[in-house]
C-alpha cells in the first residue's frame, strides 16, 4: 500500500475518533475550533504520511494533543485580548452560578478530574474516553510503555484521592457521618 493510500485509509478509519477526541477537550461552543484542529491534525498527517504507523490512531491522538495545545493557547490569548478591550458580549455579562440541584449527573467526577494536573487528566482521558491500552497510551503521550503505565497508575491514584477528599468534604459539610 502506498503512503497516499495508507493516509486515505487512516483518514477514513479515524476521522470521527479524532473529531470526538478534540471536541471532548475543547467543549461545547467551540465547533469551529474543533473543525480547525481536526483539519490541522490531518494536514500534519498528510505531510508526515511516510511516518504514519500501521496503527495510526494513537499517533493521530498525539498529533491532536499538540494541535490542541496550540489552539488552547491561542484561545487564551484571544480571551485575554477581549477582556482588555472590554467590548465583547462575553466580557459584559456577569457569571451566573447555578444551584446545587442543577448539577449534571456525574458532575462530581468531572470536578475531581478538573482538580488534577493536565498531564494526569490526559492520561485518564486517553485510556477512558479514547479506550487506549497502555501501549497505545505510550504512543499518544510520546513516551515508553513503562513511563505510560506509571503515569496512568499515578493519575488513577490521584483521582481516587481527589474523590475521597470530595466525599470527606460533603460528609463534613452536611453533618452526617458514614
Cell of 156: 488513577
Q: What Å distances lie between residue 107 and 69, 93, 113, 163, CA to CA?
A: 24, 24, 10, 12
Q: Model confidence over 117-168: pLDDT tens digits?
A: 999 999 998 998 888 999 999 999 999 999 999 999 999 999 989 888 887 7
Predicted pLDDT at 95: 47
Whole-number Å distance between alpha carbons of 5 and 166? 50
**Residue 80 — pLDDT band, cuts 50, 70, 90?**
confident
pLDDT at 176 over 70: no
Q: What is the DSSP letter of 115?
A: T
Q: Model confidence over 102-116: pLDDT tens digits?
A: 556 567 788 888 899
Predicted pLDDT at 178: 46
Amino acid at each position: 500500500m502506498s503512503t497516499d493510500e495508507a493516509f486515505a485509509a487512516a483518514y477514513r478509519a479515524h476521522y470521527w475518533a479524532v473529531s470526538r477526541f478534540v471536541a471532548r477537550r475543547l467543549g461545547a461552543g467551540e465547533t469551529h475550533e474543533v473543525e480547525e484542529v481536526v483539519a490541522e491534525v490531518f494536514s500534519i498527517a498528510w505531510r508526515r504520511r511516510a511516518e504514519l504507523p500501521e496503527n495510526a490512531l494513537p499517533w493521530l491522538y498525539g498529533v491532536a494533543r499538540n494541535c490542541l495545545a496550540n489552539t488552547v493557547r491561542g484561545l487564551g490569548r484571544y480571551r485575554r485580548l477581549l477582556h482588555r478591550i472590554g467590548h465583547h458580549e462575553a466580557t459584559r455579562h456577569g457569571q451566573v452560578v447555578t444551584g446545587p440541584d442543577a448539577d449534571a449527573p456525574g458532575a462530581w467526577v468531572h470536578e475531581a478530574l478538573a482538580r488534577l494536573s493536565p498531564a494526569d487528566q490526559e492520561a485518564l482521558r486517553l485510556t477512558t474516553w479514547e479506550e487506549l491500552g497502555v501501549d497505545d497510551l505510550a504512543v499518544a503521550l510520546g513516551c515508553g510503555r513503562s513511563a505510560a503505565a506509571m503515569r496512568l497508575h499515578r493519575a488513577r491514584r490521584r483521582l481516587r484521592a481527589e474523590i475521597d477528599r470530595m466525599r470527606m468534604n460533603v460528609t463534613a459539610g452536611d453533618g452526617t457521618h458514614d
